Amino acid sequence: MVTIAQQLVGKVLCTQFDGTLTSGVITETEAYCGRGDKACHANDGTRTSRTETMYQDGGIAYIYLCYGIHHLFNVVTNIQDKADAVLVRAIEPLEGQSTMLKRRNSEKVTPSLTAGPGRLTQALGITTDFDTTSLTGDTIWIKDRGNSFSSNGLAKTQRVGVDYAGEDAKLPWRFYPRGSKWISQK
DNA sequence: CATTTGATGTTCT
DNA sequence: GAACATCAAATGC
């Protein structure tokens, strides 16, 4: 679970709609565990129409609306009825940069273009319409470029924005490459 | 520069 | 009604 979150860093997240391809290298992830992690929406078997996606088999996208405005993208990583997911918090733009700039309504490629959970989904055109989409299809998928980071090259810190989770907010389940600029601010 | 505030939907009380 | 896995624009130094 936590291992999967580490392995996802350095892989390439791709989306393709209407013949337009956009992609980026994953530079920041957070692990969320459905059992014993108060920061997870589906902790302790909490099932709602929103979190139902997390209880499905792994290898699909869990996308939900946060604060009524932002779409956050997660990868479901466990088997059916085990609600585990990895939140992708930031990417480094790769292909289709001009499309991302257009979607984000900006002109220059800077970290603020895709560094942040709400930002990367906007740049890639991901919305809740793609919730439960399989990540092995041709709409949203993850490419292995073979340049994964060793646990030594990865910084390990507390997760962001989950202070309400008490002790569980201190779990070191946020990962990003040491020295990378494509990281969400805080 | 730092801090505050508005937008906004889903879920739980 | 309150809180929430957030961001950008406005305000105050």
* pLDDT at site A184: 92
**Torsion sign (Cα): A60, A124, A1, A8:** positive
Give the percent of chain A with pLDDT over 70.
Answer: 98
Give the percent of chain A with pLDDT over 90.
Answer: 87
Quote the DSSP letter at residue A37: -
* pLDDT at site A145: 81
pTM for the full predicted model: 0.93
* pLDDT at site A66: 95
CA distances from A52 to A32, A42, A68, A74, A140 (A): 15, 8, 19, 13, 20
Q: Does the CB of A186 fall within 7 Å of any strand B atom? A: no
Nucleotide nearest to A128 (CA to C1'): B9
Residue A128 CA and nucleotide C1 C1' are separated, in Å, by 26
Q: Which residue has the least CA–C1' distance to nucleotide C7?
A: A118
Nucleotide nearest to A161 (CA to C1'): C5
Given a contact cutoff of 8 angstroms between Cβ atoms, the answer to whether A173 and A154 are in contact is no
Stretches where chain A sits below pLDDT 50 are: none
* pLDDT at site A150: 75
